Amino acid sequence: MQRIASLDDIAAGLDALCRIDPRLETVRGKAGEVPLRLSEPGFQSLASIIVSQQVSRASADAIFGRLVKLVDPLTPQAILAASEDVFGEAGLSRPKQRGLLAVAEAVAGGLDLDHLCTLDAGEAIAAMTAVPGIGPWTAECYLLFAAGHPDVFPARDVALQTAVGHALGIDPRPPEKM
Protein backbone atom coordinates (compact mmCIF):
# COMPACT_ATOMS: atom_id res chain seq x y z
CA MET A 1 0.00 0.00 0.00
CA GLN A 2 1.42 3.37 -1.00
CA ARG A 3 1.35 5.99 1.74
CA ILE A 4 0.49 9.64 1.22
CA ALA A 5 3.93 11.20 1.63
CA SER A 6 4.08 14.10 -0.83
CA LEU A 7 2.04 16.73 -2.62
CA ASP A 8 2.28 14.52 -5.73
CA ASP A 9 0.57 11.72 -3.80
CA ILE A 10 -2.22 14.10 -2.81
CA ALA A 11 -2.64 15.28 -6.42
CA ALA A 12 -2.77 11.68 -7.69
CA GLY A 13 -5.38 10.78 -5.08
CA LEU A 14 -7.48 13.82 -5.93
CA ASP A 15 -7.26 12.98 -9.64
CA ALA A 16 -8.54 9.47 -8.91
CA LEU A 17 -11.39 10.74 -6.73
CA CYS A 18 -12.44 13.28 -9.36
CA ARG A 19 -12.56 10.52 -11.98
CA ILE A 20 -14.85 8.51 -9.70
CA ASP A 21 -17.09 11.50 -8.84
CA PRO A 22 -16.74 14.47 -11.21
CA ARG A 23 -18.64 16.71 -8.74
CA LEU A 24 -15.46 16.73 -6.67
CA GLU A 25 -13.75 18.88 -9.32
CA THR A 26 -15.90 21.75 -8.00
CA VAL A 27 -14.72 21.08 -4.46
CA ARG A 28 -11.13 20.80 -5.63
CA GLY A 29 -11.36 24.11 -7.47
CA LYS A 30 -12.85 25.92 -4.48
CA ALA A 31 -10.45 24.38 -1.97
CA GLY A 32 -7.26 25.12 -3.86
CA GLU A 33 -4.07 23.24 -3.12
CA VAL A 34 -4.41 20.68 -0.35
CA PRO A 35 -1.49 20.94 2.07
CA LEU A 36 0.49 17.92 3.19
CA ARG A 37 -0.21 17.74 6.92
CA LEU A 38 1.77 14.78 8.18
CA SER A 39 2.90 14.41 11.78
CA GLU A 40 5.31 11.92 13.30
CA PRO A 41 3.63 8.69 14.40
CA GLY A 42 3.56 8.19 18.13
CA PHE A 43 2.01 9.22 21.40
CA GLN A 44 2.35 12.99 20.96
CA SER A 45 0.50 12.92 17.62
CA LEU A 46 -2.31 10.81 19.06
CA ALA A 47 -2.51 13.03 22.15
CA SER A 48 -2.88 16.07 19.91
CA ILE A 49 -5.75 14.43 18.04
CA ILE A 50 -7.49 13.50 21.30
CA VAL A 51 -7.22 17.12 22.45
CA SER A 52 -8.70 18.18 19.08
CA GLN A 53 -11.88 16.13 19.49
CA GLN A 54 -15.00 18.28 19.11
CA VAL A 55 -13.32 21.67 19.51
CA SER A 56 -12.15 24.33 17.09
CA ARG A 57 -8.62 24.19 15.71
CA ALA A 58 -7.72 27.35 17.65
CA SER A 59 -9.00 25.90 20.94
CA ALA A 60 -7.23 22.59 20.33
CA ASP A 61 -3.95 24.37 19.56
CA ALA A 62 -4.21 26.47 22.73
CA ILE A 63 -5.05 23.50 24.97
CA PHE A 64 -2.38 21.28 23.45
CA GLY A 65 0.20 24.07 23.71
CA ARG A 66 -0.53 24.40 27.44
CA LEU A 67 -0.39 20.63 27.92
CA VAL A 68 3.00 20.37 26.20
CA LYS A 69 4.38 23.14 28.43
CA LEU A 70 3.03 21.51 31.58
CA VAL A 71 4.00 17.93 30.71
CA ASP A 72 7.45 18.02 29.14
CA PRO A 73 8.33 15.68 27.58
CA LEU A 74 4.85 14.57 26.55
CA THR A 75 5.19 10.82 26.97
CA PRO A 76 2.80 8.16 28.22
CA GLN A 77 4.82 7.85 31.43
CA ALA A 78 4.71 11.61 32.05
CA ILE A 79 0.95 11.72 31.44
CA LEU A 80 0.42 8.83 33.86
CA ALA A 81 2.53 10.63 36.49
CA ALA A 82 0.81 14.02 36.02
CA SER A 83 -1.60 15.28 38.64
CA GLU A 84 -5.23 15.97 37.86
CA ASP A 85 -4.52 19.68 38.38
CA VAL A 86 -2.17 19.66 35.38
CA PHE A 87 -4.97 18.50 33.09
CA GLY A 88 -7.32 21.12 34.46
CA GLU A 89 -4.71 23.85 34.05
CA ALA A 90 -4.18 22.78 30.44
CA GLY A 91 -7.93 23.06 29.84
CA LEU A 92 -8.69 19.40 29.19
CA SER A 93 -12.25 18.27 29.82
CA ARG A 94 -12.76 15.27 32.10
CA PRO A 95 -13.63 12.94 29.18
CA LYS A 96 -10.44 13.96 27.37
CA GLN A 97 -8.42 13.48 30.56
CA ARG A 98 -9.82 9.95 30.85
CA GLY A 99 -9.16 9.26 27.17
CA LEU A 100 -5.61 10.56 27.32
CA LEU A 101 -4.89 8.51 30.44
CA ALA A 102 -6.37 5.38 28.83
CA VAL A 103 -4.20 5.87 25.74
CA ALA A 104 -1.12 6.48 27.90
CA GLU A 105 -1.83 3.26 29.81
CA ALA A 106 -2.33 1.32 26.57
CA VAL A 107 0.90 2.63 25.03
CA ALA A 108 2.85 2.05 28.26
CA GLY A 109 1.36 -1.45 28.28
CA GLY A 110 2.57 -2.26 24.79
CA LEU A 111 0.22 -0.69 22.23
CA ASP A 112 2.62 0.02 19.36
CA LEU A 113 1.45 3.16 17.57
CA ASP A 114 4.18 2.87 14.95
CA HIS A 115 3.13 -0.68 14.11
CA LEU A 116 -0.50 0.40 13.76
CA CYS A 117 0.62 2.65 10.92
CA THR A 118 1.70 -0.43 8.94
CA LEU A 119 -1.61 -2.30 9.22
CA ASP A 120 -4.52 -2.08 6.84
CA ALA A 121 -7.13 0.48 7.83
CA GLY A 122 -9.67 -1.96 9.26
CA GLU A 123 -7.15 -3.73 11.50
CA ALA A 124 -5.61 -0.50 12.73
CA ILE A 125 -8.97 1.14 13.46
CA ALA A 126 -10.19 -1.97 15.31
CA ALA A 127 -7.06 -2.03 17.48
CA MET A 128 -7.24 1.68 18.20
CA THR A 129 -10.96 1.85 18.98
CA ALA A 130 -10.53 -0.96 21.52
CA VAL A 131 -8.84 1.69 23.70
CA PRO A 132 -11.27 3.86 25.69
CA GLY A 133 -11.18 7.44 24.45
CA ILE A 134 -10.38 6.48 20.86
CA GLY A 135 -13.37 6.42 18.55
CA PRO A 136 -13.46 6.06 14.78
CA TRP A 137 -12.78 9.78 14.13
CA THR A 138 -9.66 9.76 16.32
CA ALA A 139 -8.36 6.52 14.79
CA GLU A 140 -9.01 7.76 11.24
CA CYS A 141 -7.33 11.10 11.88
CA TYR A 142 -4.29 9.39 13.42
CA LEU A 143 -3.93 7.03 10.47
CA LEU A 144 -4.42 9.85 7.97
CA PHE A 145 -2.04 12.38 9.51
CA ALA A 146 0.52 10.21 11.33
CA ALA A 147 0.64 7.32 8.85
CA GLY A 148 -0.36 8.98 5.58
CA HIS A 149 -2.79 6.10 5.22
CA PRO A 150 -4.56 6.31 1.85
CA ASP A 151 -7.62 4.26 2.82
CA VAL A 152 -9.11 6.31 5.64
CA PHE A 153 -11.22 9.44 5.73
CA PRO A 154 -12.84 10.93 8.83
CA ALA A 155 -16.32 11.07 7.26
CA ARG A 156 -17.92 11.96 10.62
CA ASP A 157 -15.90 15.19 10.83
CA VAL A 158 -18.45 18.02 11.08
CA ALA A 159 -16.15 20.61 9.48
CA LEU A 160 -15.50 18.32 6.51
CA GLN A 161 -19.19 17.54 6.14
CA THR A 162 -20.05 21.23 6.19
CA ALA A 163 -17.30 22.14 3.72
CA VAL A 164 -18.32 19.42 1.25
CA GLY A 165 -21.99 20.37 1.56
CA HIS A 166 -21.17 24.02 0.96
CA ALA A 167 -18.88 23.28 -1.99
CA LEU A 168 -21.46 21.02 -3.66
CA GLY A 169 -24.39 23.31 -2.87
CA ILE A 170 -26.21 20.62 -0.89
CA ASP A 171 -27.30 20.13 2.70
CA PRO A 172 -24.41 21.42 4.82
CA ARG A 173 -24.26 18.07 6.62
CA PRO A 174 -24.40 15.44 3.87
CA PRO A 175 -24.57 11.78 4.86
CA GLU A 176 -21.31 9.91 5.40
CA LYS A 177 -21.89 8.01 2.16
CA MET A 178 -23.02 9.86 -0.93
Element (H, E) at 88: helix 84-90
* pLDDT tens digits along 122-143: 999 999 999 998 999 999 999 9
* pLDDT tens digits along 149-166: 988 988 888 888 887 788
Q: Domain boundaries in the chain?
A: 7-36+155-168, 43-147
Tell me the mean pLDDT in the region 101-109.
98
pLDDT interval class at 174 (50, 70, 90): low
Question: Whole-angstrom Cα distance, residue 130 to residue 55?
Answer: 23
Question: Whole-angstrom Cα distance, residue 89 to residue 114?
Answer: 30
Tell me: domain 43-147, CATH 1.10.340.30, correct?
A: yes
> Rounded to 5 degrees, what angle do the CA atoms 69, 117, 24 make?
95
Report the amino acid identity of residue 30.
K
pLDDT interval class at 63 (50, 70, 90): very high
What pLDDT is recorded for position 178? 55
